[in-house]
Copies of this chain bind each other. A is one copy, B any other.
Amino acid sequence: MADYKIYLNDSEIPRQWYNLAADLPTPMLPPVGPDGSLVPPQAWEPLFPKAIIEQEYSKERWIDIPDEVIQILYRWRPSPLRRAVHLEKALGTPARIWYKDESVSPAGSHKPNTAIPQAWYNKQEGTETLTTETGAGQWGSALSFAGSLLGINVKIFMVKISFDQKPFRKMLMEVWGGKCVPSPSQETNAGRNFLAMHPDTPGSLGMAISEAVEAAVTSPGGKTKYALGSVLNHVMLHQTIIGLEAKKQLAIAGVKNPDVVIGCAGGGSNFAGAAFPFIQEKINGANIDIIPVEPASCPTLTRGIFAYDYGDSAKMTPLMPMFTLGHEYVPAPIHAGGLRYHGMSPLVSQAVVEGLCRPMAIHQSECFAAALKWANTEGFIVAPESSHAVAAAIREANIAKEEGKAKDIFFCLSGHGNMDLLGYHKHMTGQLADYALPQEEIDFAEKVVQNHPKAEMRKSGRW
């Protein structure tokens, strides 16, 4: 019988990342300040090392992965590509469902793919401490892991609702030496202000980013910098190793391009990592349906507006051109904490504007039902974030069944759900709520964004 797991040897690991900015039909809009002025690269220097800033602005198509970074990634990369034959059978679909398993990393998700190079570049330039935020805890774990291997202290502001729901995530960060506090915290001006205004807030990634950025820029000596786990261009870049490996593996399986590519999308890094190498193929003429999947309760791409907005709630970051629900939006406390973000990667947003992707929003109840079907066919427990990709893959496999087409569906399994079983438990015991976004929230988001002084704003008109 054929092998349904496709491994690559260490020597087959990609040696370069792929930069979608080089190939997008319309050049990316640059980040701007509150007055609409361009933000020059050096303005990021209090936050990031120079090598990272260079990647952030780069238009080069291929960027070398440092050999020392590859040596570290070898701990779990290349990651497996598998075919979900048991799910296919259960669905009775003629589709072939392929998935890239990013749960095999030590931190249990795709996040170390960028945590390692970010920590490595910081180390090269003398950074001693990194601050960051984390939603569900995947990113905070990943950066702690990277800090442990590279000898950098890591301080994490963790969204309060996840901090409370997921105590083991905090312990995991501690195992790798990370220091973790719930956000909003009393440790920053931004945190104290949020708490004064909303003492019972569940927190949000937007708030936690404000705190982590403040902690970095106010730290004396310049040896403390900030690391972001999603949204920015360099993060998308580092994650493309997922899709680049997958292309090699699919080729081994005899699949030149899949018909459908799916990734879950919060800030966009998992989707981007899996999909950008296929978006390149699509720009070059391939016929691929490329689907970022987001939670119905935080439908940035499907119901947000494309505009310049802040990356954080306290307006400490530059304004970025992206789909957004407004930087003041606090997403409902769904279990997919990693997808609770008001904005979206500018690169992913631009790809959506260009019509290169077809965003989809799914309620968490459908996602957990899909995860449960996965657990009882394929066997593995996926993260709530990843369950969005599983749910979309099931939808697409059912469409293929209706159409009678043997499509190749490829999705990215962003992480395992071993620390997210409470969500499964609530789903199975009928305690899980769905959260729809009322029209007033969208109207409010538009108002918030329109009020940015002088910030350019475009609406694509397609949503």
Contacts and interface: CB of A to CB of B under 8 A. Distances in A.
A368 to B, nearest CB: 10
A44 to B, nearest CB: 29
A376 interface: yes
Nearest to A107: B379
Given A171-B424, A175-B428, A418-B416, A4 B106 contact: no
Interface in A215-273: none
Interface stretch (A6-14, A92-100, A122-130, A280-288): A6-14
A106 B379 contact: yes
Interface of A: 1, 3-5, 7, 9-11, 74-76, 86, 104, 106, 108, 145, 148-149, 168, 171-172, 174-177, 372, 375-376, 378-381, 416, 418-419, 421-422, 424-425, 428
A104 B104 contact: yes
A176 B428 CA distance: 11
Contacts of A421: 168, 171-172, 175
Contacts of A9: 3
Given A168-B419, A418-B419, A419-B168, A424 B175 contact: yes
Contact of A379 (B3, B145, B416): B145
> What 10 A-B pairs have minimum CB-CB distances, sorted nearest first?
A106-B379, A171-B421, A418-B418, A171-B425, A3-B10, A168-B421, A7-B7, A106-B380, A148-B376, A75-B379
Contacts of A76: 379
Given A172-B421, A419-B168, A428-B174, A11 B3 contact: yes
Contacts of A419: 168, 418-419
A166 to B, nearest CB: 10
A108 B174 CA distance: 22
Contacts of A106: 375, 378-381
Contact of A108 (B5, B168, B418, B422): B418
A379 B3 CA distance: 28
A106 B413 CA distance: 14
Contacts of A372: 175
Contacts of A424: 171, 174-175
A35 to B, nearest CB: 45
Nearest to A112: B379
A376 B4 contact: no
Nearest to A108: B418
A104 B424 CA distance: 21
A74 to B, nearest CB: 7
Nearest to A168: B421
Nearest to A428: B174
A120 to B, nearest CB: 14
Nearest to A149: B379
Nearest to A418: B418
A380 B177 CA distance: 14
A84 B303 CA distance: 48
Contacts of A177: 376
A396 B353 CA distance: 59
A376 B422 CA distance: 28
Nearest to A82: B75
Contacts of A171: 421-422, 424-425
Contacts of A74: 4-5
30 contacts: A1-B11, A3-B9, A3-B11, A4-B10, A4-B74, A7-B7, A75-B378, A75-B380, A76-B379, A104-B104, A106-B379, A106-B381, A148-B379, A149-B379, A168-B168, A168-B421, A168-B422, A172-B418, A172-B421, A174-B425, A175-B375, A175-B376, A175-B381, A175-B421, A175-B424, A176-B376, A177-B376, A416-B418, A418-B418, A418-B419
